[in-house]
Amino acid sequence: MVFRTNPEAPVLCALEITKELKSYPQLQVRRGIHSEKILGQLTELSKQRYVSDYTFALAYLGLGNKEEALRWVKQSYQDRAGSDIGWIRVDGLLDPLRADPRFEAIAEKIVPAREFKRATAAQ
């Protein structure tokens, strides 16, 4: 996607997508069913080429393993994977981690809450 009209357009778009995804809780169940197989495939693929830490975080979330998912989110931040982790405040797939203060600490380093609130208040 290309957003040329407004620098806040990507955030607004992600918020809309997240809101719509929350309307379909069965997607969470379906992700979980396939995550273990996908995780194995990702591990094998990562031996041959780059697979982002963020991708592993999502796979572990699908398995319900929040600790491991959080570890991979942190690694993504440490690796400065901005194109993946830059959506941390609005990516609905990360919602299961939001109540964890460690997740909030990482999110604060990437997109400070004051900046995020300012961008979303403009809606």
Is 86 inside a domain boundary?
Answer: yes
Is residue 13 domain-resident?
yes
26 within domain boundaries: yes
State the residue range of the domain holding 20: 9-118
Mean pLDDT by 10 residues, the chain (123 residues): 51 55 55 63 82 83 87 90 78 90 92 70 56
Structure confidence at residue 36 (pLDDT)? 67
The two tokens of residue 120 are 């979303």
Q: Is residue 83 in a domain?
A: yes
- Whether residue 64 is contained in a domain is answered as yes
**Rounded CA separation 1/112 (Å):** 24
Q: Which of 62, 31, 57, 56 is nearest to 41 (CA)?
A: 56
Residue 4 in any domain: the answer is no
Q: Are 123 and 9 in contact (CB under 8 A)?
A: no
Give the pLDDT score at 99: 93
Number of domains in the chain: 1
